[in-house]
Amino acid sequence: MRAHEAGALHAEGYGGPPIWLPYPRDVMELLPQLWPETVCRDAVGRLVIGGVDVVSLASEFGTAAYVLDETDFRARARAFRDAFADSFTGGADVYYAGKAFLCTEVARWVAEEGLNLDVCTGGELAVAIRAGFPGKRIALHGNNKSSSEIRRALEYGVGRIVLDSFDEIVRVDTIARELGVVAPVMIRVTVGVEAHTHEYIATAHEDQKFGFSLADGVAREAADRVVAHPDTMSLKGFHSHIGSQIFDTTGFELAARRLVQLHADVVNATGADLPEIDLGGGYGIAYTSQHTPLAPGQLAEQLADIVEREFKAIGTGDGTATPRVSIEPGRAIAGPAGVTLYEVGTIKDVGLGEGFARRYVSVDGGMSDNIRPALYEADYSVTLGSRSSDAAPRLARVVGRHCESGDIVVLDEYLPDDLAIGDLLVVPGTGAYCRSMSNQYNHTPRPPVIAVRDGQARVLVRRETIDDLLALDVG
Pair type for strands 212-213 and 183-190 = parallel
Q: Shortest CA distance to 52 belongs to which of 464, 470, 340, 453?
A: 453
Quick check: is 434 catalytic?
no
Sign of CA dihedral 201, 119, 108, 449: negative
- Length of the chain, in residues: 475
Q: 257-262 long-range CB contacts below 8 Å, 24 or more apart?
A: 257/310, 257/313, 258/189, 258/191, 258/192, 258/193, 258/214, 259/189, 259/191, 260/307, 260/310, 260/311, 260/314, 261/314, 262/189, 262/214, 262/219, 262/220, 262/223, 262/238
Alpha helices by DSSP H, 279-363: 296-313, 331-334
Hey, what amino acid is at 437? M
Task: For residue 423, give the nearest of 54, 60, 68 by alpha carbon.
Answer: 54
Spatial CB neighbours of 8, under 8 Å, sequence gap ≥ 6: 1, 14
Task: Identify the active-site residue in 40, 103, 120, 403.
Answer: 403
Phi-psi region of 360 (alpha: psi -120 to 50; beta: other; left: phi over 0): beta
Distances (CA, A) of 445 to 68, 241, 271, 300: 19, 33, 55, 40
The residue ranges of DSSP E strands in 197-275, in sequence order, are 212-213, 233-239
Phi, psi (5° rounding) for residue 79? -60, -45
What is the Cα gyration radius of the chain?
24
Q: What is the DSSP letter of 451?
A: E
Task: Please provide the DSSP assignment of 100-160 as one string.
Answer: S---HHHHHHHHHTT-EEEE-SHHHHHHHHHTT--GGGEEE--SS--HHHHHHHHHHT-SE
Residues known to be catalytic: 403
